[in-house]
Amino acid sequence: MWRRGRVCFWVELTPPCFLLRRHDDLKEMLDSNKDSLKLEAMKRIVAMIARGKNASDLFPAVVKNVACKNIEVKKLVYVYLVRYAEEQQDLALLSISTFQRGLKDPNQLIRASALRVLSSIRVTIIVPIMMLAIKEAASDMSPYVRKTAAHAIPKLYSLDPEQKDQLIEVIEKLLADKTTLVAGSVVMAFEEVCPERIDLIHKNYRKLCNLLIDVEEWGQVVIINMLTRYARTQFLNPNINVSDGPNTDRRDSFKSSLKAESFRKPYVMDPDHRLLLRNTKPLLQSRNAAVVMAVAQLYFHLAPKAEVGVIAKALVRLLRSHSEVQYVVLQNVATMTIKRRGMFEPYLKSFYIRSTDPTQIKILKLEVLTNLANETNISTILREFQTYIKSMDKDFVAATIQAIGRCATNIGEVRDTCLNGLVQLLSNRDELVVAESVVVIKKLLQMQPEKHSDIIKHMAKLTDNIQVPMARASILWLIGEYCEHVPKIAPDVLRKMAKSFTNEEDIVKLQIINLAAKLYLTNSKQTKLLTQYVLNLAKYDQNYDIRDRARFIRQLIVPTEKSGALSKYAKKLFLALKPAPVLESPFKDRDHFQLGSLSHLLNAKAGGYQELPDWPEAAPDPSVRNVEVKESVRAVGTVTYRDTAALRALRGPRKTEGESDSASGSESGSGSEESGSGSESEESEEGSDSEEEEEDEEEKKKKKKKETKKPVQESEREHIKSRLVPVRLRPFPGGTSRPPPPLSPSALLGLTAVSLPSQTIAPSSALKNYELLHRITGEGLSVEYCFSRQPFSPDANMVAVQMQFTNSATADTKNLHIEDAKLQSGMRVKEFPEIELLPAGETATAVMGIDFCDSTQAANFQLCTHTRKFFVSIQPPVGELMRSVFLTENEFKKEQGELMGMNEITEKLTLDAKCRNEHAIVQRVTAAANLSRVPCGSDRECRFAGRTVTSGSLVLVTVATGEDGSAQLTVNCEKMVIGTMLVKDILLALTQ
């Protein structure tokens, strides 16, 4: 409404009609009976939300479709409800029964979405329902649903903290989960709900360390931060003896009895402490800046001083490649350089300032350069500072001058040089440069004023030209403090200041009063009248602080009858020796905050911050982290497979049918316990006749298939088959009704090249079968894959992946192919030929090639049919990124000698009871990695060699065994990331 004269105008503001019409159209589409219209409407609504537009008025229309049978519509409805369930709680509660039904849906995405919506309704009345849903989801078969349950735990805790005890039980259960998808989420829930329950981490500590490299990046950051605090409570300080020497402070009668303890005991690092450092080190190569920063702070707070240097290169790399995180990285580097200066000195030039850097980045780089300054590099750093002073950025120039002052304070050899340089800046045309120089010179002169009286005189002459209040006040304080060094100039300065007293700033007036008082006490003949004049002017000043100061000083320095006893000590009060100021870094005391945290950034404790614990004086009991390991089942990621015990269990009942399989039993991949503990001569004969035995084994297997009276289940038969067939001729594992495709000529040539001396051939081991697409998710189509370890003929740098497609649906599947591959930098995919038709109930195989670029990063792509597209991914174990190569014993020793030091990893272990003979060791190592056996003259040593598929980097493995079952594993690898992951897999193979 507005008024014009006596007439009022009313204007009603309404939204444009097309907006109303658009929302009406969406409501009509959501109310229709066609799923296609509902799907289109939901896509448009979710797009509106993604653009930040408000779509809350559509909540009633959307929530009615929560029970829609179309899976795509239901997914989008749940996405919408997660966004608005908290705002529209009453309407969301009306559909709570539908959400509960969604928790039982066959589709894991629907189950997870239903739990996510349920936990987003912030109403205390449904807390019991939420608790029951979280408990059920924590036991779900899908790791994605279990991950969602972990995310829901902090939401329920914030809604009702009284549920903490029950939630801790769920957290304890999820912490025992062996899948990498759940690990990061449950640790985050642990940190939110019960960070003080450190006992929950004990039995899961080693598992978290081993899974860390395969967890998603967000989870890696959460787990590393948690393990940093855990390690500070469970392990001793590795640097406790670094700078400690003999105990020379004890001079009492107990000196003789404590003489043996005057040196500390040598520090021995806990193996679990070393496990954490070793498993986090490869993550310094991560492309995610947060992960690198997390590892860097872990090493800074936990690693021995001699090993912390490895993080310097990674942090410098972050500065160069991630400009958006420079501020946080430099904050942490500035803190590190105070105590660990040496590790960044080789990278001094990386902290030189560029003209394009923002001011806050420039100031932080100045801080780092100042912390790194020493007698060796100070000349170079000062030349850089001289260039920075010419910058147009005034704040940066002021910070540079302060940095010069700090360098002069810390390094006495360059103090005179810095002072002379700062004095030259006093003639600069820029008042800010002059003012900052005066302030810094004042601090430096306090250290040796008697040697620099000329500089004090020079500064006294600048009082006529310098107008910046802080600079004028600093000059006056300096002249008053050292007036005895300039007895002729000081009274004249006071005379000039008295003339302009009324026009000066308050800070300058206070220093004029102080100067007058000091000159009155040291040279009253010349300055008595001037002092009285200044005090009279100050007596009537508008500022009460100046008036009070003048009255106080008059009573103190001018003795009268009313003066108290304090006036006798006027000289001691005004002319007392004052300690020189200490120019310190603002980052000096920040290291007590955990690096990378908000509290460290602000230099103040933020809400929710958990203090970094102090090191314990005595090491806690390490046995709390011991966990019983089941020998029958091994878990790697999300794929579980059984040991040879399962094979013997399956073979047992078949012997009762009158079959004589003693010969085949001695030739099986695992072998019986008797054969495993047989004489060395028998093992050597078996190795020399391996090729003939493989052929005999094939013939015996064919006879067995004809003689078997009772059929064996398909899965059992294929499991046994995969264990017994030699490497070079084994078919694709799994329930397949078709034989695998014949090997190409190039593959046969590659196999022939490997089959040189019989003792260098790797023993047969079962190929592991991985699930790519489940039949429920794939609507009847299931896909499994394995790494065939055969050369991929189109491209030698690719890993051959053999895929098996099974159509369990009632309809035919057509046009099976791959689209839209989303790969990490450097990775490539060679697609398999399109499968035009896969009839119902039939199975087909195909081979594709993937260049993983020597990385265990997953290859993501879409598996497409004529009707659907499925998002799938293939992630290789590190052992499948290699190809076996033949080396002689001399060649092996030569190559191993060149890969020592940083390229060598050594671990001590205790072999599994079933793995204490050469045959079992060879089988397990070659099953874990595609390596070939290398001849060795020692009976107590097994050697293996291979090269990575993409780069051809050499990988050498040595297993040296002892008589008591102990062993030493040594891996020499040109790529340390590959070597670290390979050590973990081989250790797992030999100890379980």
Residues 70, 159, single domain; the answer is: yes
Cα–Cα distance list, 802 to 130, 651, 729, 832, 850 (Å)? 43, 27, 14, 10, 11
Q: Please report whether residue 198 resides in a domain.
A: yes
**Which of 88-92, 457-461, 677-681 is the most confident on average?**
457-461
Phi, psi of 244 (to 5 degrees): -85, 135
What tokens appear for 763 in the block? 């023993």
Residues 861, 884, single domain; the answer is: no
Supply the pLDDT for residue 325.
84
- Shortest CA distance to 406 belongs to which of 428, 450, 434, 436? 436
For residue 170, pLDDT beyond 50: yes
Supply the pLDDT for residue 209.
92
Residues 29, 121, single domain; the answer is: yes
One-letter identity of residue 412: G
From first CA to last CA, the distance across the chain in angstroms is 82
Higher pLDDT, 590 or 158: 158
For residue 46, pLDDT beyond 80: yes
The span from the CA of 373 to the CA of 397, in Å, is 18
The mean per-residue pLDDT over the stretch 522-541 comes to: 86
> To 5 degrees, how large is the angle CA 789–CA 793–CA 799?
40
Phi, psi of 65 (to 5 degrees): -95, 15
What tokens appear for 761 in the block? 């051939």
- Asked which of 234, 266, 281 is the last residue of a domain, the reply is 234
Supply the pLDDT for residue 587.
77
Angular region, 596: left φ>0, alpha ψ -120 to 50, beta rest: left
For residue 286, pLDDT beyond 80: yes
Cα–Cα distance list, 791 to 172, 801, 874 (Å)? 45, 10, 18
Q: Please report whether residue 929 resides in a domain.
A: yes
Give the count of beta carbons closer than 10 Å to the beta carbon of residue 391: 15
Whichever domain contains 920, its CATH number is 3.30.310.10
The confidence band for 3, taking pLDDT boundaries of 50, 70 and 90, is low
- Asked which of 878, 900, 930 is the last residue of a domain, the reply is 878
The span from the CA of 860 to the CA of 56, in Å, is 35
The span from the CA of 644 to the CA of 667, in Å, is 13
The mean per-residue pLDDT over the stretch 462-470 comes to: 78
Residues 842, 958, single domain; the answer is: no
Supply the pLDDT for residue 166.
92
CB 845 within 8 A of CB 805: yes
133-142, 143-152, 940-949, 971-980: least confident range: 971-980
Q: How many domains does the structure of the chain reveal?
A: 3
The confidence band for 247, taking pLDDT boundaries of 50, 70 and 90, is very low
Residues 962, 979, single domain; the answer is: yes
Q: What is the DSSP letter of 33?
A: S
Supply the pLDDT for residue 957.
94
One-letter identity of residue 737: S
Residues 854, 980, single domain; the answer is: no
Q: Please report whether residue 895 resides in a domain.
A: yes
CB 459 within 8 A of CB 466: no
For residue 889, pLDDT beyond 90: no
Higher pLDDT, 468 or 933: 933
Tell me the residue range of the domain where 818 lies: 769-878
Q: Give every CB contact of residue 887 below 8 A, 6+ residues apart in sequence.
A: 895, 934, 945
CB 925 within 8 A of CB 942: yes
Supply the pLDDT for residue 916.
84
Supply the pLDDT for residue 711.
42
Supply the pLDDT for residue 964.
83
For residue 377, pLDDT beyond 80: yes
Residues 869, 978, single domain; the answer is: no
The confidence band for 277, taking pLDDT boundaries of 50, 70 and 90, is very high
Supply the pLDDT for residue 449.
67
Bridge partner list, 847: 802
Whichever domain contains 201, its CATH number is 1.25.10.10
Q: Please report whether residue 197 resides in a domain.
A: yes
Residues 795, 943, single domain; the answer is: no
For residue 173, pLDDT beyond 90: yes
% of the chain residues with pLDDT over 70: 79
DSSP string, 693-719: HHHHHHHHHHHHHHH--SPPPHHHHHH
Residue pointed to by tokens 């490869």: 282
- Asked which of 179, 208, 234 is the last residue of a domain, the reply is 234
The mean per-residue pLDDT over the stretch 22-37 comes to: 79
Residues 932, 787, single domain; the answer is: no
Task: Kindly report the average pLDDT of the chain as a whole number.
Answer: 77
For residue 8, pLDDT beyond 80: no
Supply the pLDDT for residue 338.
85
Supply the pLDDT for residue 821.
84
Distance of CA 974 to the CA centre of its chain: 24
Supply the pLDDT for residue 944.
93
Residues 893, 790, single domain; the answer is: no
Residues 895, 844, single domain; the answer is: no
Query: Residues 717-724: contacts with CB within 8 Å, 24+ apart?
Result: 719/646, 719/647, 719/650, 720/647, 720/650, 720/651, 722/766, 722/767, 722/769, 723/644, 723/647, 723/668, 723/669, 723/670, 723/766, 724/664, 724/667, 724/668, 724/669, 724/697, 724/764
138-152, 289-303, 757-771: least confident range: 757-771
79-88, 246-255, 970-979: least confident range: 246-255
- 827-851 pLDDT tens trace: 889 999 999 899 988 999 999 999 9
Higher pLDDT, 406 or 750: 406
The span from the CA of 79 to the CA of 853, in Å, is 36
CB 870 within 8 A of CB 862: yes
Residues 97, 210, single domain; the answer is: yes
For residue 718, pLDDT beyond 60: no
The confidence band for 428, taking pLDDT boundaries of 50, 70 and 90, is confident
What tokens appear for 174 in the block? 């999820």
Q: What is the DSSP letter of 744?
A: P
Supply the pLDDT for residue 280.
93
% of the chain residues with pLDDT over 90: 18
